[in-house]
């Protein structure tokens, strides 16, 4: 890489890229940052709920092999209690449904956040062009 001094034209062009950051621009940048942080938290939450649902599905599949009259341990808080198989299957089904509703709500929130982030990106890129980087590395 060869280094050289800028010509007068290049210096003038560089000066045009230095736009003043107005208060409303800074507010948009700050809002984008807060939304990005919220997006990352919701994505982490989605991953943990997906893992939890996967575990419940695996347990449900294992219980299908158990004897109907058998009592099986069910975790309630920090303790395990012995419950009849049909009752445990019902509780697992309710837990799975609850997780699916939660995942759906979280995905909806994520969609709203990403939509707002894209709107802010459009506004900020139209004002600052390549002088600002709002790429989050995620899939928007």
- Per residue in 3-59, pLDDT tens? 665 566 655 555 555 678 899 999 999 999 999 999 999 999 999 999 999 999 999
Q: What is the pTM of this model?
A: 0.74
Question: Rounded to 5 degrees, what are φ and ψ at 133?
Answer: -120, 115
Q: What pLDDT does residue 101 have?
A: 97
- CA dist 15 to 25, 57, 69, 124, Å? 19, 60, 80, 19
The vertex-130 CA angle with 126 and 132, nearest 5°, equals 85
């Amino acid at each position: 890489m060869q280094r050289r001094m800028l010509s007068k034209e290049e210096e003038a062009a560089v000066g045009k890229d230095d736009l003043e950051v107005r208060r409303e621009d800074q507010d948009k940048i700050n809002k984008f940052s807060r939304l990005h942080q919220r997006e990352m938290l919701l994505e982490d939450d989605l991953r943990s709920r997906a893992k939890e649902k996967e575990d419940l599905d695996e347990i449900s599949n294992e219980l299908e092999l158990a004897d109907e009259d058998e009592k099986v341990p069910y975790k309630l808080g920090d303790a395990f209690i012995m419950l009849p198989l049909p009752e445990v299957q019902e509780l697992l089904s309710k837990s799975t449904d609850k997780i699916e509703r939660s995942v759906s709500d979280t995905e909806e929130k994520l969609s709203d956040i990403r939509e707002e982030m894209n709107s802010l990106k459009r506004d900020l890129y139209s004002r600052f062009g390549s002088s600002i980087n709002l790429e989050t590395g995620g899939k928007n």
